[in-house]
């Protein structure tokens, strides 16, 4: 099963929002099948901004983190099709445009799950189900993957 990670999972793994959340995110990432994990390009750009603005990292230091994530997982490009789908999602489902880009990217990348704390748990669009990996009761698809 192909899985996409939203920015918040990466940000928590980098230490945004404290040590407890970082430990949760790293444990989750370690349990995922590495060859089945993909990152929408959008998430790396958002992560760079978070690291520089929220964690006050120097851009050169943030770049190292971004390149490490890029090297660790497959990437999903933001294509013209993703852009058009994201606009449609934003217009019809009232997602923020940037969240819609991440969801549309996950779909274009053939992902079955999008792990995100920001989008509606259980929302399914074009074959992609949103699962909050930090929820008290994890999504059944995620649970089956982690077993």
| pLDDT tens, residue by residue, 138-147 | 899 998 888 7
User: Is pLDDT at 38 greater than 90 in this prediction?
Assistant: yes
Percent of the chain with pLDDT over 90: 86
Per-residue CA distances from 104 to 41, 60, 87 (Å): 12, 30, 9
- Number of domains into which the chain is organized: 1
For residue 5, list its beta bridge partners.
Answer: 115
In angstroms, the CA 74 to CA 13 distance is 17
Q: What is the CATH number of the domain that holds 68?
A: 3.40.50.1010
| Structural domain of 19 | 3-146
The predicted model gives 79-91 an average pLDDT of 96
Q: pLDDT value at position 146?
A: 86
pLDDT band of 18, cuts 50, 70, 90: confident
Q: pLDDT value at position 144?
A: 87
Sheet architecture: strand order including 37-40: 74-76, 37-40, 3-5, 113-115, 128-131, 124-125
Long-range contacts of 96-100 (CB under 8 A, 24+ apart): 98/42, 98/46
Is pTM beyond 0.75? Reply is yes
């Amino acid at each position: 099963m192909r899985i996409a990670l939203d920015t918040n999972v990466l940000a928590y793994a980098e230490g945004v929002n404290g040590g407890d959340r970082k430990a949760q995110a790293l444990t989750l990432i370690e349990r995922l099948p590495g060859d089945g994990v993909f990152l929408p390009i959008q998430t790396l750009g958002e992560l760079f901004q978070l690291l520089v603005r929220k964690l006050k990292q120097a851009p050169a230091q943030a770049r190292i983190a971004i390149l490490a994530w890029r090297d660790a997982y497959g990437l999903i490009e933001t294509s013209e099709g993703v852009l058009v789908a994201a606009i449609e999602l934003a217009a019809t489902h009232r997602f923020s445009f940037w969240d819609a880009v991440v969801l549309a990217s996950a779909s274009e990348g053939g992902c079955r799950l999008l792990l995100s704390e920001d989008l509606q748990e259980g929302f399914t669009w074009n074959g992609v189900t949103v699962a909050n990996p930090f929820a008290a009761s994890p999504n059944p698809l995620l649970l089956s993957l982690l077993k």
